[in-house]
Amino acid sequence: MDMLVKLYEIDPHKTLLQVSKVEKKNDVTIRQAMAYEKEAVVEFVRGTFTGKWSGWPSECDIAFSNWPLSCYIATCRVPKDKTFDRKVVGFGCYNATCRGFFGPSGVAEPYRRKGIGSCLLLSSLCAMRQEGYGYAIIGGTDKQEQWDFYSKTVGATVITGSENGIYLDMLK
Ligand SMILES: CC(C)(COP(=O)(O)OP(=O)(O)OC[C@H]1O[C@@H](n2cnc3c(N)ncnc32)[C@H](O)[C@@H]1OP(=O)(O)O)[C@@H](O)C(=O)NCCC(=O)NCCS
């Protein structure tokens, strides 16, 4: 099922505050990805989301071809030698699968239920609003936990009759 989000009901100021709170609490950074990070982000998606999510690296790659880049990432510090490096722990794309669509998006399992997925979603939706969209579509949700996540965080509603949506006749 696809879901619909009213972008005009999302408050960019509240989003900034929420992102800042989640960043501080979890020692993560949530921001728009940079072009030079494409390989690292696509590799994270490929290595973390497999099986039925095998199309996600391609979709994420496309987000890096858009301008502005339509991919947000969450990163955290990892110790390296006597200093620190950073690794990707979550991502959220828009205008990747279709224009006006949010997704794909995901957070690595150990980092879930900390508010990171919400921040990636809200940051992407604020960017879409800024780019002139009034509504966003979340494509291809198929689990209760996804419906719960999107309805709770951004008031998304299921679009009647969207069972197959755009995902027809897909190459495996
Ligand atoms: C969906 C996903 C991105 C959520 O990321 P997250 O960082 O865990 O989400 P948040 O911590 O911001 O969750 C915000 C709220 O959404 C709801 N929620 C999140 N995950 C949920 C779950 N598994 N079941 C029910 N509600 C859930 C909760 O109300 C949660 O608030 P709470 O933890 O205070 O109760 C993550 O679970 C994920 O990567 N799943 C696998 C990939 C996927 O399904 N992506 C979406 C494709 S459409």
Domain ranges of the chain: 3-158
The CATH number of 3-158 is which of 3.40.630.30, 3.30.1360.170, 3.40.50.10860, 3.40.309.10?
3.40.630.30
Ligand 1 contact, 141 CB (< 6 A): yes
Q: How far is CA 94 from CA 26, 48, 60, 77, 91, in A?
A: 24, 19, 9, 25, 10
Ligand 1 contact, 92 CB (< 6 A): no
Instruction: Tell me: pLDDT of 167 over 90.
Output: no
**pLDDT averaged over the chain?**
96
Nearest-CA residue for ligand 1 atom 9 is: 117
Read off the pLDDT of residues 43-77 as tens digits, 9 standing for 90 and up: 999 999 998 889 999 999 999 999 999 999 999 99
Average pLDDT over residues 85-100: 97
Q: What is the pLDDT of residue 171?
A: 83
